[in-house]
């Protein structure tokens, strides 16, 4: 029997290409796994009005870890008209399956390493080594929203915030939309602690909490206050506090000054794209959604519909996500070999996909990395 059971969810678009490419490399490494396919993505939205079918959720309950490629998602009207005729007009709502996965399995930590591999022509600067810890289940992604604003919610808000609400006198409920930003103390503590533990384990000198507590006083404030308490348990590591807007500026100016960053869901989403671009963009941006029961590893890029079937996109982000998975399940030696192989191919510069200015295919990149394994 294989040693591991791995959930295998290519999704759609170029998700399929990058997963195929990664499989070539995992096989070459000698990773002893049974891969269990999971249906997810646009195909299942169209035919079942559910891009994350229950059978996939069940499958994920019985694996050691999972890999996920990418999925297509379109705005409300386009999503509705893509449904097969018998499913149309029934108020089905498209919700991002990856966001649902994160919430269903309480994958509360999103870990996004952004490392500049030497020789990558896309590096903004060399020697960058940033790691973003993004709270992955709370905040603006919780999906607690209103439009129109219900009258009883309006009454309550008027009672608690009379000055602010009076500025909307005369605005109809239909003309007001609200998205809530909910943080829990436990959610803040967990993500900050994960960030500090990582900094300690890998020798980073600082953890920067990226929020906006001068304006968003309660939620960002809670995150920063908890970070200050937790920092006391890590005497050798400095806690820096930086507002999200300033952070974006500093990351462009002096990215080498930073190490581990920790933030809430939406700010973490934004700042991790910025960090990814500093080290080559989406073709290199790997991530892990980590929970207690299961963890799902995925490249941060989307399904890139315009490149579908062209065997063109860079599979390195997916491969590095697989490397994170290997680390997570304790196969560090194999993870190290995979990362070294990727680093060598980048450094040699002989095989490059289009984003790196080359003309090699997804498969050629996979074969080049496999050859170094």
Q: Report the C-alpha gap between 163 and 232 in whole angstroms.
A: 38
CB-nearer residue toward ligand IPM: 17 or 269:
269
Please identify which residue in 57, 74, 99, 176 interacts with ligand IPM, judged by CB under 6 A: 99
* Alpha-carbon gap, residue 78 to 299, rounded angstroms: 25
Closest CB 240 distance from Mg ion, rounded Å = 23
Is residue 25 a contact partner of residue 370, using CB atoms and an 8 Å limit? yes
Contact pick of 33, 40, 83, 98 for ligand IPM (by CB under 6 A): 98
Minimum distance from residue 304 beta carbon to ligand IPM (Å): 12
Nearer to Mg ion, 28 or 102 (CB): 102
- Taking CB under 6 A as the binding criterion, the range among 18-26, 92-100, 316-324, 341-349 that sits at the site for ligand IPM is 92-100
Question: Please, which residue, 269 or 327, has the CB nearer to Mg ion?
Answer: 269
Planar angle of CA 324, 243, 109, nearest 5 degrees = 25
Contacting residues for 282 by C-beta, under 8 A, at least 6 apart:
276, 299, 300, 301, 317
DSSP structure string for 7-48: EEEEESTHHHHHHHHHHHHHHHHT--EEEEE---SHHHHHHH
321 binds ligand IPM (CB under 6 A): no
Chain Cα centroid distance, residue 228: 25
Pick from Mg ion, ligand IPM, none: which does 277 bind, CB < 5 to 8 A by kind? Answer: none
Which has the closest alpha carbon to 126: 249, 316, 256?
A: 256
> Any contact of residue 173 with ligand IPM (CB under 6 A)?
no
Judged by CB under 5 A, does residue 298 bind Mg ion? no
Q: Which span (68-76, 108-116, 266-274, 289-297) binds Mg ion, by CB under 5 A?
A: 266-274
Check: CB of residue 274 under 8 Å from CB of residue 289: no
Distance CA 115, CA 273 (A): 13
Closest CA to 364 of 279, 356, 337, 325: 356
CB of 99 to ligand IPM, least distance (A): 5
Pick the stretch among 4-12, 91-99, 144-152, 199-207 that binds ligand IPM (CB under 6 A). 91-99
| In the complex, least distance from residue 269 CB atom to ligand IPM, rounded to whole angstroms | 5
| Shorter beta-carbon distance to ligand IPM: residue 100 or 372 | 100
Query: What residue ranges bind ligand IPM (CB under 6 A)?
Result: 96, 98-99, 269, 300
Query: What residue ranges bind Mg ion (CB under 5 A)?
Result: 269
């Amino acid at each position: 029997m294989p040693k591991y059971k791995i959930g295998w969810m290519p999704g759609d678009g170029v998700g399929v290409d990058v997963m195929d490419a990664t499989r070539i490399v995992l096989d070459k490494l000698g990773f002893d796994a049974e891969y269990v396919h999971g249906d997810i993505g646009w195909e299942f939205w169209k035919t079942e009005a559910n891009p994350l079918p229950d059978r996939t959720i069940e499958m994920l309950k019985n694996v050691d870890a999972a890999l996920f490629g990418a999925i297509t998602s379109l705005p409300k009207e386009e999503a509705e008209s893509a449904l097969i005729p018998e499913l149309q007009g029934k108020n089905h709502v498209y919700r991002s399956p990856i966001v649902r996965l994160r919430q269903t399995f309480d994958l509360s930590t999103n870990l996004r390493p952004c490392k500049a591999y030497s020789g990558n022509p896309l590096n903004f600067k060399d020697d960058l080594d940033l790691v973003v810890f993004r709270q992955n289940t709370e905040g603006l992604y919780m999906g607690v929203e209103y439009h129109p604003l219900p009258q009883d919610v309006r009454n309550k808000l008027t009672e608690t915030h009379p000055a602010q609400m009076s500025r909307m006198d005369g605005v109809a409920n239909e003309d007001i939309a609200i998205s809530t930003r909910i943080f829990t103390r436990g959610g803040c503590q967990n993500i900050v602690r994960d960030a500090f533990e990582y900094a300690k384990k890998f020798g980073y000198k600082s953890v920067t909490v990226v929020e906006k507590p001068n304006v968003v006083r309660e939620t960002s404030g809670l995150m920063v206050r908890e970070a200050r308490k937790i920092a006391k348990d890590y005497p050798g590591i400095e806690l820096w506090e930086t507002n999200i807007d300033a952070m974006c500026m500093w990351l462009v100016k002096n990215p080498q000054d930073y190490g581990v960053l920790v933030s809430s869901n939406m700010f973490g989403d934004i700042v991790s794209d910025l960090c990814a671009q500093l080290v080559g963009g989406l073709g290199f941006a790997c991530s892990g959604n980590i929970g207690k029961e299961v963890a799902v590893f995925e490249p941060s890029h989307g399904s890139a519909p315009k490149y579908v079937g062209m065997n063109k996109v860079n599979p390195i982000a997916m491969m590095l996500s697989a490397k994170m998975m290997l680390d997570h399940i304790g196969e560090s030696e194999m993870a190290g070999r995979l990362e070294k192989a990727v680093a060598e191919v980048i450094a040699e510069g002989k095989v490059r996909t289009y984003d790196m200015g080359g003309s090699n295919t997804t498969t050629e990149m996979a074969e080049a990395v496999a050859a170094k394994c």
